[in-house]
Chain A
Amino acid sequence: MTDTATPAIEGWFTTGPAPALVGTRCTTCGTVFFPRASGFCRNPACDGETFEDTELSRRGTIWSYTDAQYQPPAPYVPSADPYVPFAIAAVELPEGLVVLGQVADGYGVADLHVGAEAELVVETLYVDETGDRTIWRWKPVVEMGQEADQ
């Protein structure tokens, strides 16, 4: 990932040493939304129309996981030729929502378990004419000592 790297989608996550997803919180009922909600709250009991940005928890527990062993169709942009499979995790955050993400480079389904902990990182999704385009990913949290065992 180079210094000129830019997010593949604007405003969905922060970058830097402790990146986080950016959602919105309804100022009326407090419900958090990711991807961001704006305009109207989707809680049926709430008529809120104002939202503030909120960074979501960077860690959660794995709800489930899989991988993509065949190259997905466009608009997916492959990052390598020939295609390199990647893993995918759905991670439940303390805010009570589950967020999908690719799994960090170097990790596969063998490194994942339902209920295990994962942490958000930002990595390159693909490269275009502007340089690296980045995305959030889930990285398994490996406790000290476990890494050596693997």
Chain B
Amino acid sequence: MSAHDVAVAGVGMHPWGKWGKHFVTYGVHAARAALADSGIAWQDVDLIVGGETVRNGYGGYVAGATFAQALGWNGAKVATSYAACATGAQALDTARARILAGLSEVALVVGADTTPKGFLAPNAGERWDDPDWLRFRLLGMTNPAYFALYARRRMDLYGATQEDFARVKVKNARHGLENPNARYRKEVSVQDVLSSAVVSDPLHLLDICATSDGAAAVVLCSTEYAARHGLGGGVRINAISTVTPTFPNTVMDMPNLSTDATTAVAPGELTFKESIGAAAYEEAGIDPSDVSLAEVYDLSTALELDWMEDLQLCKRGEAEVLLRAGDTTLGGRIPVNPSGGLGCFGEAVPAQALAQVCEVTWQLRGRATGRQVEGARVGVTANQGLFGHGSSVVLSV
């Protein structure tokens, strides 16, 4: 707990799925759920921040205003954030900063998306200076191919196996069974994963997360406002890390065709993903050993294992040891993705980082029915997106 804490007054989601509705429908549903959860009226919100969606036209580019109009113009100040997969966390950070500066008291943060089927592909048109276009044109590099590069490194360097990756899926599928907002709520066996088609070796179809429609919303307020109105059940945001990489960034990142070179400058001690978590722990003033649970971006099963190490929940190369011992399963020492993770949800880009915060909030309130981490006091989230974006949020109660 520190001077730059803000209170989580309420959280809400629209269930993930392929519903085929307009993203605003999902966003309003989640926003109303979060407002109802907080007990704060929309008219009392003085800032709305939207997570931009890039696949839904102009209304998506100005998502903050789009949601504000849909909820009914109330004169609140508005902002819209885009930071790829970290969009929701950056939107949350914008709200937090205004609250901490005393410029706002109550903020509503909303992210929602309607996604196309299949591989996420770049928008139409020829763009010879855009790495996200060039990677498809020149190399045929899909998102799963990048995930597969990281997975293969775990196998060749640390002795991970495809069975280990499948175990992550089995665990998360079980975690998500009782989660009413999860899209996939079905037990999966190791054999199911291994007998699904290989998309990009060594990853099978069931190792890779789908794209989904969905929405999540968070109502933030100052700790004074929460105390004055008796709101939120004591859950606070202690840190939001949205750091950029440090040059030279020598780990291959989607959608790039190459990394920075170390010709003139030696690489730093921490990789980009390690620095995201380290900055969050430093800001929160906590140690990784204080963490009760983690919600991490399992775009692929193997990436969950990478994140456990990036967040210092174990040493490099040891994530499979924890996984095999059941330490990261509900009831284990450090449950990872108790919500079921992206494996059960599928990715709804501008909503996903907010969904992580919703889950941690429910866990810290002790209200994660059917998937509760007993005695949860501190939760951490992590994700990474395109073009140097990433985030980690620390919450505690």
Residues of A that sit less than 8 Å from B by CB: 8-9, 25-26, 29-35, 42-46, 63-70, 72-77, 86, 88, 90, 95-102, 109, 113-115, 125, 135
Contact = CB atoms under 8 A, between A and B. Distances in A.
A121 B83 CA distance: 36
A28 to B, nearest CB: 9
22 contacts: A29-B265, A31-B265, A32-B261, A32-B263, A35-B258, A43-B264, A64-B152, A66-B145, A68-B142, A69-B197, A69-B198, A73-B121, A73-B142, A74-B121, A74-B136, A75-B133, A76-B140, A77-B137, A88-B200, A97-B250, A97-B258, A114-B157
Contact of B250 (A31, A96, A100, A114): A96
Nearest to A44: B247
B157 A72 contact: no
B288 interface: no
Given A75-B137, A114-B153, A115-B156, A95 B261 contact: yes
Given A63-B252, A97-B259, A88 B141 contact: yes
A93 to B, nearest CB: 8
Contacts, number: 144
**Interface SS of chain A:** loop
Chain B CB within 10 A, most for which of A34, A69, A114 = A69
B356 to A, nearest CB: 27
Interface in B84-124: 118-119, 121-122
Contacts of B121: 73-74
A31 B153 contact: no
A95 B119 CA distance: 33
Given A31-B263, A31-B264, A64-B150, A99 B140 contact: no
B118 A73 contact: yes
Interface string B128-164: 1001011111111110010011111100110000000
Nearest to A110: B201
Nearest to A75: B137
B263 A88 contact: no
B145 to A, nearest CB: 5
Contacts of B44: none
B262 interface: yes
Given A31-B261, A43-B264, A90-B149, A9 B134 contact: yes
Given A35-B258, A44-B247, A29 B137 contact: no
B260 interface: yes
Nearest to A109: B201
A125 B263 contact: no
Contact of B136 (A42, A64, A75, A96): A75
A69 B149 CA distance: 14
B126 interface: yes
Contacts of B321: none
B149 A65 contact: yes
Contacts of A42: 247, 260
A86 to B, nearest CB: 7
Chain A CB within 10 A, most for which of B119, B135, B141, B201 = B201
A96 B263 contact: yes
Contacts of B141: 68, 72, 88, 100
A114 B160 CA distance: 13
A26 B261 CA distance: 12
Contacts of B157: 114
Nearest to A34: B258
Given A70-B119, A88-B140, 6 more contacts: A42-B260, A64-B153, A68-B140, A76-B140, A88-B149, A100-B258
A101 B139 contact: yes
Given A44-B247, A64-B153, A76-B136, A96 B261 contact: yes
Nearest to A102: B139
Nearest to A87: B201
B263 A135 contact: no
B386 interface: no
A66 B140 contact: no
Chain A CB within 10 A, most for which of B148, B258, B259 = B258
A96 B261 CA distance: 5
Contacts of B258: 34-35, 97-100
B314 to A, nearest CB: 21
B263 A95 contact: yes
B70 interface: no
Interface in B164-221: 197-203
Contacts of A34: 258, 261
A69 B263 contact: no
B234 interface: no
Nearest to A46: B264
A96 to B, nearest CB: 3
A109 B128 CA distance: 29
